[in-house]
Amino acid sequence: MIRYLADFIRYRELIELLTAREIKARYKQSALGILWALFQPAIMLILFSAIFTKIVRMPTGDTPYPVFLLSGLIPWLFFSNALNAAIPSLVSNADLIKKIYFPRVIFPLASIMAAAFDFLIACSLLVVLLIYFKIKLTFWLLLLPLFIFLEFMLIVSIALLLSALNVFYRDVKNALANLIQIAMFATPVIYPLSVIRPNLQKLLLLNPMTGIVECFRNVLVMGTAPNWNFFFISAILTIALFTTAHHLFKKLEPNFADSI
């Protein structure tokens, strides 16, 4: 991790350039521009809120369901959008990889940073809901950057692993969209974890995003202390995944230019 941070600092100008290129390409010739970053969470918010407030009541206690939902959707969309952009990033930049050498990890990192930009824009929608429903913030909110950083490292870990495999097996990119859709329902985004039976809750905790979403929601919306057991489970799984992904990425990296 220290080595990746060193590369991040050393090549920060290149990462900034590639990140800006991705953001500009995403909104080029778009009438709404960066407002598209609000479109996806807004549509999902309206759809799920209509279903789980008008048709099926979702028990969220004193927390209004739209706020509960969006506090899970925002980190989840960061996760899914970042991976969808980062997994094919090596293949998309094949020309650069073949012509010049610099750490290949820069490409998935730039894609993740571009998704982080959308994440920050989408957070403004959550701020509006917090103000509208008069949700009181507590000092636990100061821990929010910790959980965002953990999610960022989880995304980097998965991106390293799958982007490297995608160079050799292009099925990875095609399978990813379906897997992410399934994984959303294995994460307490649209429902509270309390509605799940205790034995199934333990199974869901094997998904690192479960602990991240729960902690994100605890400190931001519930105004309570995070569930530290959930946090440490997610952190341990992320560290293990990062170690594995780093090893595989570095092992395969010398063959990228020939196989891409």
**Stretch 82-89: mean pLDDT, rounded?**
93
Dmax (CA) for the chain in angstroms is 57
* pLDDT (tens digit per residue) in 50-76: 988 888 888 888 899 999 999 999 999
Bigger pLDDT: 127 vs 5? 127
Residue 118 neighbours by CB under 8 Å, 6+ apart: 34, 37, 77, 78, 81
* pLDDT (tens digit per residue) in 149-183: 999 999 999 999 999 999 998 888 888 878 888 89
Q: What is the mean pLDDT of the chain?
A: 89
The answer to whether 18 touches 96, Cβ cutoff 8 Å, is no
Instruction: At 50, list the tokens.
Output: 């209509």
* % of the chain beyond a pLDDT of 90: 58
pLDDT at 2 > cutoff 70: no
**Residue 202 belongs to domain spanning:** 2-259
**Per-residue confidence (pLDDT) for residue 28, from 0 to 100:** 72
Bigger pLDDT: 5 vs 88? 88
**Stretch 86-102: mean pLDDT, rounded?**
86
User: What total of structural domains would you count in the chain?
Assistant: 1
Confidence tier at 30 by pLDDT (50, 70, 90): low
The whole model's pTM is what? Answer: 0.92
**Residue given tokens 């521009």 in the structure block:** 33
CA 147 and chain centroid, separation: 11
When mean pLDDT is compared across 163-172, 173-182, 185-194, 209-218, the lowest value belongs to 173-182
**Per-residue confidence (pLDDT) for residue 170, from 0 to 100:** 83
Confidence tier at 36 by pLDDT (50, 70, 90): confident
The answer to whether 231 touches 65, Cβ cutoff 8 Å, is no
**Per-residue confidence (pLDDT) for residue 27, from 0 to 100:** 74
Instruction: Please report the sign of the dihedral spanned by the C-alpha atoms of residue 145, residue 201, residue 77, residue 64.
Output: negative
Q: What does 14-56 look like in DSSP terms, one character per residue? A: HHHHHHHHHHHHHHTT-SSGGGHHHHHHHHHHHHHHHIIIIIS
pLDDT at 1 > cutoff 80: no
**Stretch 203-221: mean pLDDT, rounded?**
95
Bigger pLDDT: 2 vs 95? 95
